[in-house]
Chains A and B, each alone.
Chain A
């Protein structure tokens, strides 16, 4: 049995002792169990105040906030952190999520006072560097995509989708086409696509995938009508495949007066190699956190700038940077039929800084090489596993992620979920499972360009060994997994049935199993 020499804990658990923690990984109580209202890790002067300017609004409800001194706070959060898997501790092949290396230069730059300690409503005359940074980021994004304009402000990918679809809605309304109420979404799409369309009042029509995992231009044409506002298509798609008929699909969509929204979550696979503007795209969000590697931080913050075609550019939300005579200007109000404002200020400056730093470090050549290496790595994993793992769409080349289904586990008593949990015991974060929905028991592996060949080989060896073990009838190893993680499998049904969403003083802690 091959093992991940870095990530695998030395302590070997058994069902009886696993999950209870080793001496180096003790359980950590809740902040509210170790802190109290009398301790504080911040020294502040005690000032006298009266009610003269407070009126009758003074707080009577207890705050009930637990405090810790600085050393205790450090220990609490350091101990907690050690119960997390992270890219820096090992390969994180979570398909569709793009867990690539997060350069530390980007963190250093984002903390310069000239970026971090700048207020969004300072006089515009005092922030020329911020405007220039936004302009430079826009230039890179537009060059990489061959599009006309970019709306930088969306706060995350899903927010970018909302912004892009609002732009499309505004464009239709301006043309007297506000009656269009239908949005086409392939079945393989991210859940955010139909959720976004529905949130904007559109009815969603699902487009089935072909046997080869891509969208059928004939199926799109059959669904198109004067009622269709847009198609939302992910490219490369969530099966890790390039939509090879994308140009014909775009043309058909434009023929009925609809727009082509491209979900750019997988732009990392083609940056510097293919430009969405050459494919007929009208709007596409770019997840700066995925493609240009701003840290995912346990679930954000992200940033989702949207690039727009000439048809949609006039409807971009405020604020945006405009080139004036000699200086850049921040446009905060526009007359006429534009989108409005989608967030209070100028978007995720902290993420803009990191993304531009990443772009400058890579250069145009490095970004294209990163895309090619991401595709190379995914195809290498696919090639090494394809004789054992089942490929839902044949042996065609994939883009940046390799998709498998669960047919290779037929009759073993091991599910995709069990297989994923067994990977945890081998020191890896599992791949994305059960997504996309169009594939049975999906396993979506995205190695990213950051992984060296040695790591990919170790990972593939582990995958193959696990598959052999499953086929050899050792199902219990999988169904009991994970045994070497800080916790064994968690009861999600119980969590949802009687939700306990905050600490309560009267809560009885569950007795330890020992």
Chain B
């Protein structure tokens, strides 16, 4: 087996040093009844070319996003990632290092994380960011738990525009808590009525699940008047190249999905969660934090810090159980963002918005289609004269991935059955849009 270095002679030599006859003797502590008596029913080891053929055959059964017109968003976005990013993250020193527990031989990873934290804090407009979370949805759930710790209150109010999957993850994390208030999308105006002196946080997403830009400042005022915190969720981080930073609008904790920058779609993971907050809240923050310090010679260096929040020190008193996070995805994010810089990131955001405007204009002209999102970044919702899910299937059969039917995520609300969420990015061409509109027109006839 090509990855295993020992010959039988070497194994025998090592066993002699250990003083046993065979490797089985080293498993003597395993109860007799639990020892496998025969090999498992699994195929034997296989050469690289055969494994590759097997895996390629599986991959070939999937329709890749780049194979044709593609408008799927709703929390994960197809963007162009420069070749440099993937080349760099495959360098051995990045790819095959562990969490930087020994800082003297991990300064590469640590300095990168310090730069990543700086980028994220600037983007989100907050004092401090952590060294990444698993993804945007789990970061949102962790932010909710953090707000409960900070306020010592229990009620969480989730706004109607929060991604339904994010809402579900929060519900799973906090349990069947009667204090979890979910505002149905049809009652968007009722949000203020649910905020009281037991409210720990309001959770709002912008651009929201339907693509709409939300007035955060108003909600921040509402939350703060009640002594609650405002948690802002961003699932399309490119939006912050064009729309105002949540931190500048009164957010107390900002969480985001960072996949759009540096990371492929990967059918849902691995992705990279971003989290930032005020300086005074940092000790209640989950996840790793990298900080600057000096070494014994006074030279600048970086270490993981404030680890008294973490599970390996505090055990059951830790702020969260998180250990491994998204190091390599954070690296990809940081490299891509370093390549873009302010100039490139701003251009990218403008380009995304311009492509979305082109899509919106075309959809507005399509017969039977009603655009219901009026302010947006790169994503929008349309109402069709019939259920969206079958229409999406008809278009998929023609090679057009038209977007996400809201009913797929929210099957219990019949009033969303006709809604379709579509995204455009810098990769969306005029031809893609023309093909979509032609396909929709045909399907709605």
Decide whether A and B assemble into one complex. yes
Which stretch in B56-64, B182-190, B219-227, B430-438 binds the other chain? B56-64
B63 touching A126, Cβ below 8 Å = yes
A450 touching B3, Cβ below 8 Å = yes
Q: Is A246 an interface residue (CB 8 A)?
A: yes
With a cutoff of 8 Å between Cβ atoms, the chain B residues found around residue A370 in the complex are: 1, 3-4
Q: How far is the CA of A42 from the CA of B347 in the complex (A)?
A: 10
Q: Is A118 an interface residue (CB 8 A)?
A: yes
Q: Which residue from A49, A241, A298, A451 sits with its C-beta under 8 Å from B97?
A: A298
Q: How far is the CA of A332 from the CA of B404 in the complex (A)?
A: 14
B375 touching A499, Cβ below 8 Å = no
Q: How far is the CA of A273 from the CA of B408 in the complex (A)?
A: 42
B270 touching A155, Cβ below 8 Å = yes
Q: Is B66 an interface residue (CB 8 A)?
A: yes
Q: How far is the CA of A297 from the CA of B302 in the complex (A)?
A: 18
Q: Which residue from A48, A126, A492, A510 sits with its C-beta under 8 Å from B303?
A: A492
Closest chain A residue to B357, Cβ basis: A53
Q: Is A38 an interface residue (CB 8 A)?
A: yes
With a cutoff of 8 Å between Cβ atoms, the chain B residues found around residue A289 in the complex are: 324
Chain A proximity mask over B4-31: 1 for CB below 8 Å, otherwise 0: 1110001101110111100101111111
Known: A119-B401, A494-B293. A65 touches B122 (CB 8 A): yes
With a cutoff of 8 Å between Cβ atoms, the chain A residues found around residue B13 in the complex are: 453
Q: Which residue from B78, B342, B408 sits with its C-beta under 8 Å from A37?
A: B342
Known: A111-B86, A298-B328. A53 touches B375 (CB 8 A): yes
Q: Is A295 an interface residue (CB 8 A)?
A: yes
Known: A121-B408, A133-B58, A246-B31. A298 touches B266 (CB 8 A): no
Q: Is B138 an interface residue (CB 8 A)?
A: yes
Q: How far is the CA of A247 from the CA of B40 in the complex (A)?
A: 21
Known: A32-B118, A198-B318, A345-B76. A61 touches B344 (CB 8 A): no
With a cutoff of 8 Å between Cβ atoms, the chain A residues found around residue B19 in the complex are: 383
Q: How far is the CB of A134 from chain B (nearest CB, A)?
A: 9
Known: A191-B312, A295-B328. A366 touches B342 (CB 8 A): no
Which residues of chain A in 106-135 are interfacial with respect to chain B, using CB atoms and an 8 Å cutoff? 107-109, 111-123, 125-130, 132-133
A339 touching B172, Cβ below 8 Å = yes
Which stretch in A222-230, A254-262, A500-508 binds the other chain? A500-508
Q: How far is the CA of A46 from the CA of B343 in the complex (A)?
A: 10
Q: Is B210 an interface residue (CB 8 A)?
A: no
Q: Is A64 an interface residue (CB 8 A)?
A: yes
Q: How far is the CB of B358 from chain A (nearest CB, A)?
A: 10
A143 touching B10, Cβ below 8 Å = no
A429 touching B105, Cβ below 8 Å = yes
With a cutoff of 8 Å between Cβ atoms, the chain A residues found around residue B31 in the complex are: 244, 246-247, 279
Which residues of chain A in 468-503 are interfacial with respect to chain B, using CB atoms and an 8 Å cutoff? 482, 485-492, 494-496, 499-503
Interface magnitude class on chain A:
35 or more
Q: How far is the CA of A342 from the CA of B28 in the complex (A)?
A: 39
Which residues of chain B in 274-313 are interfacial with respect to chain A, using CB atoms and an 8 Å cutoff? 282, 288-303, 305-308, 310-313
Known: A298-B100, A424-B105, A489-B104. A123 touches B343 (CB 8 A): no
B317 touching A198, Cβ below 8 Å = yes
Q: Is B348 an interface residue (CB 8 A)?
A: yes
Q: Which residue from A81, A159, A379 sits with its C-beta under 8 Å from B93?
A: A81
Q: How far is the CB of A467 from chain B (nearest CB, A)?
A: 18
Chain B proximity mask over A343-377: 1 for CB below 8 Å, otherwise 0: 11111111101001101111111111110110111
Known: A344-B268, A376-B15, A424-B105. A501 touches B58 (CB 8 A): no
Q: Is B232 an interface residue (CB 8 A)?
A: no
Q: Is B322 an interface residue (CB 8 A)?
A: yes
Q: How far is the CA of A195 from the CA of B310 in the complex (A)?
A: 9
Q: How far is the CA of A509 from the CA of B294 in the complex (A)?
A: 10
Q: How far is the CA of A272 from the CA of B338 in the complex (A)?
A: 44
With a cutoff of 8 Å between Cβ atoms, the chain A residues found around residue B97 in the complex are: 84-87, 296-298
A345 touching B104, Cβ below 8 Å = no
A368 touching B104, Cβ below 8 Å = no
Q: Is A408 an interface residue (CB 8 A)?
A: no
Q: Is B445 an interface residue (CB 8 A)?
A: no
B103 touching A65, Cβ below 8 Å = no
Which stretch in B153-161, B194-202, B240-248 binds the other chain? B240-248
With a cutoff of 8 Å between Cβ atoms, the chain B residues found around residue A305 in the complex are: none
Q: How far is the CB of B224 from chain A (nearest CB, A)?
A: 19
Which residues of chain B in 242-272 are interfacial with respect to chain A, using CB atoms and an 8 Å cutoff? 242-245, 247-248, 257, 264-270
Mostly helix, strand, loop or mixed at chain A's interface? Answer: loop
Q: How far is the CA of A175 from the CA of B88 in the complex (A)?
A: 52
With a cutoff of 8 Å between Cβ atoms, the chain A residues found around residue B328 in the complex are: 295, 297-298, 300-301
Known: A84-B109, A340-B168, A501-B282. A40 touches B62 (CB 8 A): no
B270 touching A112, Cβ below 8 Å = no
B6 touching A300, Cβ below 8 Å = no
With a cutoff of 8 Å between Cβ atoms, the chain A residues found around residue B128 in the complex are: 499, 501-502
With a cutoff of 8 Å between Cβ atoms, the chain B residues found around residue A273 in the complex are: 27, 30, 35-36
B26 touching A375, Cβ below 8 Å = yes
With a cutoff of 8 Å between Cβ atoms, the chain B residues found around residue A373 in the complex are: 4, 6, 11
Q: Which residue from B5, B42, B60 sits with its C-beta under 8 Å from A364?
A: B42
A102 touching B78, Cβ below 8 Å = no
Q: Which residue from A361, A432, A496 sits with its C-beta under 8 Å from B46?
A: A361
A299 touching B98, Cβ below 8 Å = yes
Closest chain B residue to A492, Cβ basis: B303
Q: How far is the CB of A418 from chain B (nearest CB, A)?
A: 13
Q: Is B329 an interface residue (CB 8 A)?
A: yes
Closest chain B residue to A485, Cβ basis: B104
Closest chain A residue to B65, Cβ basis: A117
A396 touching B29, Cβ below 8 Å = yes
Closest chain A residue to B265, Cβ basis: A119
Known: A109-B55, A341-B168. A299 touches B297 (CB 8 A): no
B393 touching A80, Cβ below 8 Å = no
Q: How far is the CB of A21 from chain B (nearest CB, A)?
A: 9
B244 touching A58, Cβ below 8 Å = yes
Q: Is A459 an interface residue (CB 8 A)?
A: no
Chain B proximity mask over A255-277: 1 for CB below 8 Å, otherwise 0: 00000000000000010111100
With a cutoff of 8 Å between Cβ atoms, the chain B residues found around residue A488 in the complex are: 104, 295-297, 299
With a cutoff of 8 Å between Cβ atoms, the chain A residues found around residue B135 in the complex are: 155, 343-344
A38 touching B343, Cβ below 8 Å = yes
A342 touching B98, Cβ below 8 Å = no
Q: How far is the CA of A86 from the CA of B328 in the complex (A)?
A: 13
Q: How far is the CA of A192 from the CA of B90 in the complex (A)?
A: 29
B321 touching A192, Cβ below 8 Å = yes
Closest chain A residue to B72, Cβ basis: A119
Q: Is A440 an interface residue (CB 8 A)?
A: no
Provide a sorted-by-A list of 30 A–B residue pairs whose CB atoms are within 8 angstroms.
A20-B299, A30-B118, A41-B341, A59-B240, A65-B345, A66-B341, A67-B338, A105-B48, A119-B70, A123-B401, A140-B42, A161-B321, A190-B323, A272-B36, A272-B42, A287-B324, A332-B408, A341-B169, A344-B137, A347-B269, A356-B55, A357-B55, A363-B42, A363-B45, A376-B14, A380-B17, A450-B4, A486-B105, A499-B128, A500-B292
Given contacts A109-B51, A123-B392, 9 further A-B contacts (CB under 8 A): A40-B347, A44-B347, A73-B335, A105-B52, A273-B35, A342-B138, A344-B163, A365-B44, A384-B17
